[in-house]
């Protein structure tokens, strides 16, 4: 019988990475410039590995290939085996990332051969004065946007947002964005690694070379509609006894909630889909029919569809994500 699969992440070391994954979550990161922890990943550029139980050492892809519908669910099944639908990361930005945009499914399939990328961010930590970029200022036209890219003045057109711990952002494909310096972010996204870099703050490397930009593709897919004042997601908080459940985002690709569990939160799993869990505060255990699996903040789990109902024991705060089924 399948059980809660605790996953070891895949680490990425971009130039803007840091060391807060170690400082805050105690992760065994490879360097002090570790920028991404792919917590729950089944992608050709990185796949998580099971770290507990009889399946320890198997990749998430191997588990899915072996167990199929029992792992993924009756409503996800064969399509999910072809392409796992979601990717969950933690991003540590010690420097600001480039301004970028992601395509929708149709454009991504035609030009990149993979899924588009709609995503969301939950801010886990923010240094004083931290900001991010979300879209463009009101009134920016296609001509102004293109001129700003070509002349290296796009910064003047960007919509900067002040950020604090706990803020949530939903970023549909086509939304221009950039994570700013000093942010630690949980990212839930479509299972895609396609990014079009639009602007890199006119930075150059030690040899005076700029990073590659993807200007025409960015012009093709960027949505210029402004959303000033509406960038942050408030969610809907529901009291469940001593616990709270905050429904943050519900789109066609994923549904995401934050659970604040005092003692126990009972979760229903009827075999149609899997759950993804990431503990971001506290510690506790996942209790299921065959036993319990303990966790600490920073641990992430794949909960197989066929496992049945389970409980989250706290006190803890958990990000729960799943694919909508009908």
Sign of CA dihedral 209, 213, 215, 216: positive
Peptide linkage before 98 cis (omega within 30 of 0): no
Alpha helix (H) residue ranges in 33-169: 60-67, 69-72, 77-82, 105-112, 142-151
Burial class (CB in 10 A: 0-12, 13-18, 19+), 93: buried
Q: Which of 219, 226, 254, 221 is nearest to 161 (CA)?
A: 226
Q: For residue 19, what is the DSSP state?
A: S
| Cα–Cα dist 98/198, whole Å | 7
Query: Which strand (E) or helix (H) includes residue 322?
Result: strand 316-322
- The separation between the first and the last C-alpha atoms of the chain, rounded to the nearest angstrom, is 26
197 is catalytic: yes
Distances (CA, A) of 239 to 165, 168, 200, 266: 22, 20, 43, 13
Distances (CA, A) of 103 to 114, 191, 200, 242, 289: 10, 13, 18, 41, 42
% helix, strand, coil for the chain, step of 5: 15, 40, 45
- Catalytic position from the list 20, 22, 197, 203: 197
Output the six-digit token pair for 89: 């990361």
Active site amino acids: 197
């Amino acid at each position: 019988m399948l059980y809660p699969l605790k996953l070891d992440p895949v680490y990425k070391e971009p130039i803007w990475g840091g060391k807060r994954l170690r400082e805050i979550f105690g992760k065994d990161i490879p360097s002090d410039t570790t920028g991404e922890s792919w917590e729950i990943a089944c992608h050709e550029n990185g796949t998580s590995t099971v770290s507990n139980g009889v399946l320890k050492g198997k990749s998430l892809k191997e588990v899915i290939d072996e167990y199929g519908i029992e792992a993924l669910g009756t409503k996800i099944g064969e399509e999910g085996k072809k392409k796992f639908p979601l990717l969950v990361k933690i991003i540590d930005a010690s420097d600001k990332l480039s301004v970028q945009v992601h395509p929708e499914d149709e454009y991504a399939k035609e030009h990149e051969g993979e899924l588009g990328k709609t995503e969301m961010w939950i801010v886990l930590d923010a240094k004083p004065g931290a900001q991010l970029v979300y879209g463009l200022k009101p009134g920016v036209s296609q001509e102004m946007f293109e001129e700003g890219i070509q002349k290296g003045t796009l910064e003047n057109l960007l919509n900067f947002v002040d950020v604090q711990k706990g803020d949530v952002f939903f970023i549909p494909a086509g939304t221009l964005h950039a994570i700013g310096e000093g942010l630690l972010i949980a990212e839930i996204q479509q299972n895609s690694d396609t990014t079009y870099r639009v602007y890199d703050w006119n930075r150059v490397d030690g040899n005076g070379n700029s990073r590659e930009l993807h200007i025409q593709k960015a012009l093709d897919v960027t949505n210029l509609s402004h959303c000033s004042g509406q960038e942050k997601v408030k969610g809907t908080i529901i009291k469940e006894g001593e616990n709270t459940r905050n429904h943050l985002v519900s789109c066609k690709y994923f549904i995401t909630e934050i659970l604040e569990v005092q003692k126990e939160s009972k979760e229903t799993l009827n075999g149609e889909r899997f759950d993804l869990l990431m503990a971001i505060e506290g510690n506790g255990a996942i209790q299921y029919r065959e036993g319990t699996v303990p966790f600490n903040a920073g641990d992430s789990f794949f909960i197989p569809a066929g496992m049945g109902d389970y409980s989250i024991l706290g006190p803890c705060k958990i990000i729960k994500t799943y694919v909508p089924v009908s």
